[in-house]
Amino acid sequence: MAALSVSSSCADVLTNARRVVVKAGSSLLVAPQTGALRHQWMASLVQDLADLRANNTEFIMVSSGAVALGRRALALGDGALILEQKQAAAAVGQPMLARAWAEAFAPTGLVTAQALLTLDDTENRRRWLNSRATLEALLAQNAVPIINENDTVATDEIRYGDNDRLAARVAQMSGADVLILLSDIDGLWSADPNRHKDAQHIPFVAELNTQVMAMAEGPNPGSDLGTGGMATKLEAARIAVRNGCTVMLTSGVCRSPVTALLKGARATMFAPSSSIRDARKSWIAGTIKPVGAVHVDEGAVRALETGASLLPVGMSACTGEFFRGDVLVILDAKGAEIGRGLASYNADEAVQICGLRSEEIAQKLGYSARAAMIHRDDLVLLNKGSEQ
Ligand code: GLU
CA dihedral (208, 267, 23, 274) positive or negative: negative
Nearest residue (CA) to ligand 1, atom 5? 64
Percent of the chain with pLDDT over 90: 72
Which atom, in ligand 1's list, is nearest to the CA of 97?
Answer: 4
Which atom, in ligand 1's list, is nearest to the CA of 228?
Answer: 9
DSSP 289-340: S--EEEEE-HHHHHHHHTTPPBPGGGEEEEEE---TT-EEEEE-TTS-EEEE
Rounded distance between C-alpha atoms, residue 294 and residue 311, angstroms: 11
Tell me the one-letter amino acid at 86: K
**CB of 378 closer than 6 A to ligand 1?**
no
**CB of 30 closer than 6 A to ligand 1?**
no
Rounded to two decimals, the pTM is 0.86
Work out the angle at residue 278's Cα, subtended by the Cα atoms of residues 273 and 279, and round it to the nearest 5 degrees.
Answer: 95
**CB of 147 closer than 6 A to ligand 1?**
no
Rounded distance between C-alpha atoms, residue 71 and residue 205, angstroms: 37
Structural domains present in the chain = 10-279 (3.40.1160.10), 290-381 (2.30.130.10)
User: pLDDT tens digit string along 48-64?
Assistant: 999 999 999 999 999 99
**CB of 150 closer than 6 A to ligand 1?**
no
The per-residue pLDDT for 147 is: 98
Residue 357 φ then ψ, to 5°: -80, 160
User: pLDDT tens digit string along 179-218?
Assistant: 999 998 999 999 888 888 899 999 999 998 888 988 886 5
**CB of 67 closer than 6 A to ligand 1?**
yes
Tell me the one-letter amino acid at 153: V
* 3-state secondary structure at position 132: helix
Residue 263, Cα to own-chain centre: how many angstroms?
Answer: 26
Which atom, in ligand 1's list, is nearest to the CA of 226?
Answer: 8
Half-sphere exposure of 370 (CA within 13 A, CB side): 15
Q: What DSSP element (H or E) covers 381?
A: strand 379-381
* 3-state secondary structure at position 106: helix
The per-residue pLDDT for 345 is: 93
Residues 6+ apart with CB under 8 A from 239: 165, 168, 169, 172, 285, 286, 288
Residue 222 reports pLDDT greater than 70: no
User: pLDDT tens digit string along 331-386?
Assistant: 999 999 999 999 999 999 999 999 999 889 988 888 877 889 999 989 999 865 44
Closest C-alpha among 302, 333, 304, 300 to residue 314: 300
Rounded distance between C-alpha atoms, residue 14 and residue 271, angstroms: 13
Residues 6+ apart with CB under 8 A from 19: 57, 58, 59, 60, 139, 174, 175, 176, 177, 178
Q: From ligand 1's centre to the CA of 139, what distance in Å?
A: 23
**CB of 149 closer than 6 A to ligand 1?**
yes
**CB of 26 closer than 6 A to ligand 1?**
yes
